[in-house]
Structure 1
Amino acid sequence: MRIDQYPPQEPMSENMQAYHDHLMRQADESRAHEAQYGDDPYQSIMVFPAEKPNGTVLMYLHGGGWTNGYKEWMAFMAPALNALGITYATAGYRLAPRHVFPAGLQDCGEALKWLAANVKQFGGDPDMMFVGGHSAGGHYAALLATADSLPDGTDVRPLIRGSAPVSGSFYFGEESGMAVRPRFLGAPESGNEVHASPLRRLSGPTCPFLLTWGEKDFPHLIVQAQQMSDALQRQGTRVDTLVLPRHNHFTASHAAGEVDGLWPDRLSKWMQSIVN
């Protein structure tokens, strides 16, 4: 889908606009298979088959502060992951402020269910599916793996073999370190700070996690990732961590799509260690 076919988003900050421009220059959608999993234009997904698939599947979710972003942003990652045999998908979801929590979580779960039902035709194994994402997308990837169920009552956790957030958020509230309350949480009286916090949803072991952040990432996200790692381990979950040297919040996303790069290689080995 062309970017100008989507409903308008919130104005982007200067840093976000630069990030958007960089990703769109790299995006190559020529090999993508696009589908709708819902009626809204943002409820869409692109699948990039690997030339030599090994069965593993990664559904990746874009960032953008829950108010911006497109699935097309993450198309640049396909060459690096396909080269490793991974069937790669990038999914969109409805955005705030028009759609507040839990709409985006429900969308991510619906995209995952669609992928599980259709991925065989693209060379993927529905029993070898992983979720990941950058920033706000990393938050949703963690929440899919830790929430008891989607808002409609569906439990998608059995579909997920592992979760790989990059520079994600793991809890909200006054102690989260965020300067501004995220708009996707809706009204303060909703209680969504708790409902939307993966760290506060932990009640036992989950699927394995690969937590990644940039060495120069936003300080509060580094603290949150370290706390999420500790909390997961206390619950008996396998946790691997990766700090991307010299990378900040935005370039950590770039690094996730580098051919022969550190993150794709680490991700592939981590996935293989889980499915084998």
Structure 2
Amino acid sequence: MLIQDYPPQEPPTETLLFLHGRLMVLAEGIEGEEHRHGDDPSQSLIVYPAPEPGGPVLIFMHGGGWTNGYKEEMAFLAPVLNAAGFTLVSNSYRLAPRHVFPANADDAAEAVARTWRLAERYGYDRDAIFIGGHSAGGHLAGLLAVTSDWQAARGLPGDVIKGCLPISGTFDFTPGCGLSMRPRFLGPEGRFNEVKASPLFRLGETAPPFLIAHGTEDFPHLMVQAKKFAMVLRARGLAAETVEVPDATHGTVLLMAAETDKPWLPAATHWMRAVLGRRA
């Protein structure tokens, strides 16, 4: 899909505009197949299949403060993941302020369902689906991973997500979480979406393993949240590992994710194989 085919987005900050530009340059010439699962153009995904069938899948969602971003930006991850035997799926979701929670989470859940159903077409293993994302995408990935109220309605097994890999995600929106302002995707106050949208407060008795990453120069409140969320997961007997990317900011930690000599990519591919019990 062309960027101009999407609904208008909020004017991006200079930081977001720079990151978008870098990502689109890195994504140039990388082709996948698009599928829609709703009337809004943002309700769509792109599949970048691995060359060999039977491998795992990573659904990875873009960031952008819940108000910006495009699935096409994540294409830069496809070559390195495909080379490692992983299919990449990148999905968009409806954005604030026009759409508020839980619209974005519903779209992410539909993308998981569509990925599960496309397995026969592309030959990947639908019983080896992982989910991740950067920033706002990392938040949505974490929320889907810890909640169990969306799978059955879509005909999915409860354990459809085998592991979660958020990068610089937000796990807590309640007062004192460190955010400088209340994100607009939460909608009007009084709906208690701060709690409903917070993976930290949606944890049940079970959750898939987590690999939680951030840069050492990331936003301070997100580094604190990552450490706290990992601690809470472990305290509940759930599996959580962390990756800190040296000298990476909130934006460059994503740009480094496709670099084989940086920590995230080798850690992520090894970790996903280990979760599945496959050879590293």
Establish whether TM, by shorter chain, passes 0.5.
yes
Q: Is there any run of 5+ residues in structure 1 with no aligned partner, and where? A: none
CA distance in 2, matches of 1:115, 1:30: 19
Once residues 272 and 44 of structure 1 are traced to their aligned partners in structure 2, the CA distance between those partners, rounded to angstroms, is 27
Residue 229 of structure 1 is matched in structure 2 by 230
Partner of 2:193: 192
**Structure-2 change in CA distance of 1:169 and 1:150 (3 Å):** same
1:214 matches 2:235: no
For residues 1-276 of structure 1, the aligned pairs below 5 Å read: 1-28=1-28, 30-53=30-53, 55-150=55-150, 154=154, 157-259=158-260, 261-276=262-277
Distance 2:53 2:228 in 1: 35
Once residues 10 and 138 of structure 1 are traced to their aligned partners in structure 2, the CA distance between those partners, rounded to angstroms, is: 20
Secondary structure of 1:162's match? strand
Contact 1:146/1:157, CA 8 A, preserved across alignment: no
The 2-side partners of 1:40 and 1:64 are apart by 18
CA contact (8 A) 2:108 2:140 kept: yes
CA change 1:220–1:30 in 2 (3 A) is closer
Contact 2:27 2:74 in 1 (8 A): yes
Give the Cα separation in 2 of the matches to 1:124 and 1:28.
Answer: 24
Q: C-alpha deviations, 1:52-100, integer Å up to 9, x for none?
A: 3551100000000000000011111111111100011100000000000
Structure 2 SS opposite 1:22: helix
Task: Rate the CA distance shift 1:193–1:213 in 2: closer, same or farther, 3 A.
Answer: same
**Corresponding letter in the other structure for 1:64:** G
Contact 2:245 2:262 in 1 (8 A): no
In structure 2, relative to structure 1, the CA distance for the partners of 1:48 and 1:197 (3 Å cut) is same
Distance 1:73 1:156, change over 3 A: farther
| Same amino acid, percent of matched pairs | 45
CA distance in 2, matches of 1:68, 1:30: 21
SS of 2:142's equivalent in the other structure is helix
- 5+ long unaligned stretches in structure 2: none
On the 8 A contact 1:87/1:123 being kept in 2, the answer is no
2 CA distance for matches of 1:116 and 1:151? 11
The size of the alignment, in residue pairs, is: 276
Q: What letter matches 2:84 in structure 1?
A: L
The aligned amino acid for 1:255 is M
**Contact 2:161-2:208 within 8 A present in 1 as well:** yes
CA distance in 2, matches of 1:53, 1:221: 37
Change (3 A) 1:98 1:157: farther
Structure 1 runs of 4+ off > 4 angstroms?
151-157
- Matched residues in 2 for 1:149 and 1:260: separation? 39
Amino acid at match of 1:228: F
Secondary structure of the corresponding residue to residue 148 of structure 1:
coil
Q: Distance in 2 between the 1:140 and 1:103 partners?
A: 11
In structure 1, C-alpha distance between the alignment counterparts of 2:174 and 2:180, rounded to whole Å: 10
Q: What is the CA–CA distance in structure 2 between the aligned matches of 1:55 and 1:207, rounded to whole Å? A: 19
Q: Deviations over 1:147-182 (max 9, x none)?
A: 231399557642100000000000102211000100
Whether the aligned pair in 1 keeps the contact of 2:145 and 2:161 (CA below 8 Å) is yes
Cα distance in 1 for residues equivalent to 2:54 and 2:231: 32
The change in CA–CA distance for 1:123 and 1:264 in structure 2 (over 3 A counts) is: farther
Give the conservation status (yes or no) of the 8 Å contact 2:44–2:111.
Answer: yes
Preserved CA contact (<8 Å) 1:216 1:246: yes
